[in-house]
């Protein structure tokens, strides 16, 4: 076996023999680090944990606000959509009414057209019969004057009396 001489030992081995000194040095370094961090936070006035909490709360508030805005916009869209549906229903009802009126008018127009055609045929028939009647009459001088419907034929007094007696 090889024996180590005290002069040839490494510096780590030297500290290994005094564990209390190593623990005290480690504790001193940890306390120094914690105190420097505390001083640095106190000097700058900001703590990353509180900044993170504040940022998180702001994000939550923005998300809630955006959510509320979306809900409001959705409700507005629903109302607008319902109004559009109602208006469309009214327009469809009006269109249906107009179609019915148009169909009724077309039916009336057909009836009137048939009646006009019938009347036209009747007038043409009367013209032809009048023309054939004039052609069959002998053309002898001027035609006699027609009496107006207002003039009454003269009757004798005795005929008038006999009529009155018969009534009474």
Query: How far is 44 from 71, CA to CA, in rounded Å?
Result: 42
pLDDT in tens, 62-88: 999 999 999 999 999 999 999 999 999
For residues 14-43, one letter each, b for 16 or more C-beta atoms within 10 angstroms of the residue's C-beta and e for the rest, the string is eeeeeeeeeeeeeeeeeeeeeeeeeeeeee
| pLDDT beneath 70, residues of the chain | 1-17, 46-48, 138-168
Say whether 14 sits in a helix, a strand or coil: helix
3-state secondary structure labels for all residues of 100-137 = HHHHHHHHHHHHHHHHHHHHHHHHHHHHHHHHHHHHHC
User: Which pLDDT score is estimated for 33?
Assistant: 95
User: Which pLDDT score is estimated for 165?
Assistant: 59
The token duo for 128 is: 């032809």
Element of type H or E holding 154: none
pTM: 0.39
Using alpha carbons only, how large is the chain's radius of gyration in Å?
62
The token duo for 99 is: 């179609």
Query: How far is 69 from 125, CA to CA, in rounded Å?
Result: 82
User: Which pLDDT score is estimated for 34?
Assistant: 94
């Amino acid at each position: 076996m090889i024996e180590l001489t005290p002069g040839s030992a490494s510096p780590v081995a030297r500290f290994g023999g005094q564990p209390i000194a190593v623990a005290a040095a480690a504790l001193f370094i940890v306390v120094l680090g914690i105190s420097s961090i505390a001083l640095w936070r106190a000097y700058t006035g900001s703590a990353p944990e509180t900044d993170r909490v504040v940022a998180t709360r702001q994000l939550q508030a923005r998300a809630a606000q955006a959510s509320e805005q979306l809900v409001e916009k959705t409700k507005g869209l629903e109302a607008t959509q319902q109004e559009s549906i109602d208006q469309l229903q009214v327009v469809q009802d009006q269109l249906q009414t107009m179609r019915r009126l148009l169909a009724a008018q077309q039916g009336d127009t057909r009836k009137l057209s048939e009646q006009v055609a019938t009347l036209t045929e009747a007038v043409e028939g009367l013209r032809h019969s009048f023309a054939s009647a004039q052609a069959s009459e002998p053309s002898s001088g001027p035609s006699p004057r027609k009496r107006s419907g207002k003039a009454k034929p003269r009757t004798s007094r005795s005929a008038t009396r006999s009529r009155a007696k018969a009534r009474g």
